[in-house]
Structure formats: C-alpha cells, structure tokens
Chains A and B, each alone.
Chain A
Amino acid sequence: KQEVTQIPAALSVPEGENLVLNCSFTDSAIYNLQWFRQDPGKGLTSLLLIQSSQREQTSGRLNASLDKSSGRSTLYIAASQPGDSATYLCAADTDKLIFGTGTRLQVFP
C-alpha cells in the first residue's frame, strides 16, 4: 500500500529564502509524482508533474526532483515571496493519486 509522507509539516521563513520541501513514498512503482499548491479553503493548483522516467521538472522559481529508487521527491522554491504562502501537497500516482499530508508554508515580509 502506497504511503506518502511530507516533511516538514510546517515552515515559516522570511522573504527571499530558498526552500526545500520533502516528499517520500513507499512504493516506487509510480507513473508520476505531482506537486500541488492549496490555498486555505480552496482547491488544488497543479505546480509540477514529474513522469517516472524523468528526474526533474522546472517552472519559474520552482524545481522538483524525483528519485524513484529511494522513494523521494523534493520541491525547491527559489527566492521565496509572501505570495508563496500556502500548503504544498505532493501526490504519487500509481493507479490513483495518493496524497501526502502537506507542508504548510508561511513566507513573511
């Protein structure tokens, strides 16, 4: 049974810092690994999708890496801004999406 864990559970940083959010999964037989952003009381916004054959994906200040063999993915956020404050969820796609519990990020000015 796939289990997805995210650390840290919460993170509070000053604006401008570079951040690393961690995601681990127990079953390496995944189609892809996805990162989402969720604002309070809102739905999910897809950030990055890494196919199982890929090692990383980049979009703007975001970079996500995937190491299937070790069951890990990281989301790197460069030069964080207050607008980045949200909960970040990773999800491992087997035949369905299994979500982690998220990292609640607060970036203060």
Chain B
Amino acid sequence: GAVVSQHPSWVICKSGTSVKIECRSLDFQATTMFWYRQFPKQSLMLMATSNEGSKATYEQGVEKDKFLINHASLTLSTLTVTSAHPEDSSFYICSASGLAEQETQYFGPGTRLLVL
C-alpha cells in the first residue's frame, strides 16, 4: 500500500525559531499533498493544499507567510512554521494523493510540535 512518512515525528523549539517538517511519499508519486493541523481533542483542519511545482492554496485564516509550503518534487513537500509561537503547538499531519481522480489521501504519521 501507499506509504507516507513525516520527519521529524516530534519537535520542541523555542519561541521565535522556525521549524521545518518534511512529508514524503515513499512508493508513489504524489501530485497533491495536503497539510492538516489538529489541536488536542479536536479534529483535523485542512491548512493548505499543494500541487507539485506550483504555489500552495491556503485555507481561510491560515497565514501564508507563517506557514511556508514547498512542494518541489512528486515525493516531497515541506511545511515551515516561521517564527513559531506557543499557540502554534499542535499536531501537524500531511497526506498525499496520486494521479487518479478523487483518489484516497494517504496520511503520514504526524509531527507533534511544541513551542516553548
């Protein structure tokens, strides 16, 4: 089956620093990758959708300049949380889908971010 990995699995950083999270599709080409955020006891909320080689589409209320997304290849997307603050502490999950129309999204294991 399709496998999506994320790195790191957890990260602790100081307020004001930037953190980069990687999302990789290991055995398929991901034309589209999605980034979600999940706060404790809440559901997943889509942050942005990225297509390989083009700019990401951000959901309403998500700051483009704070959450930088790069989808430079068909197997890798990165999310950079710039100038992180404690309120950015959350569980970040990526997913990836391939070429087939309305194909299932395959989810990564998530990255837990704690900003001190």
A residues touching B (Cβ–Cβ < 8 Å)?
31-32, 34, 36, 41-46, 49, 89, 91, 93, 96-102
Contact = CB atoms under 8 A, between A and B. Distances in A.
Contacts of B45: 99
Contact of A43 (B42, B43, B102, B110): B110
Interface residues of B, number: 20
A22 to B, nearest CB: 15
Label chain B's interface by main secondary structure. Answer: strand
B43 A99 contact: yes
Contacts of B102: 31-32, 93
B104 A34 contact: yes
B109 A101 contact: no
B31 interface: no
Contacts, number: 43
Interface of B: 6, 34, 42-46, 49, 91, 93, 95, 102, 104-110, 112
Nearest to B108: A43
Contacts of B46: 96-98
Contacts of B109: 42-43
A41 B114 CA distance: 13
Contacts of A101: 42-43
Given A96-B46, A102-B43, A49 B104 contact: yes
Nearest to B6: A43
B24 to A, nearest CB: 13
A45 B6 CA distance: 15
Contacts of A99: 43-45
A103 to B, nearest CB: 11
Contact of B104 (A42, A43, A46, A102): A46
Nearest to B91: A41
Given A31-B102, A46-B104, A41 B112 contact: yes
B8 to A, nearest CB: 14
Contact of A89 (B43, B49, B106): B43
5 contacts: A43-B6, A43-B108, A44-B107, A97-B34, A102-B43
Given A43-B93, A46-B107, A49-B104, A89 B44 contact: yes
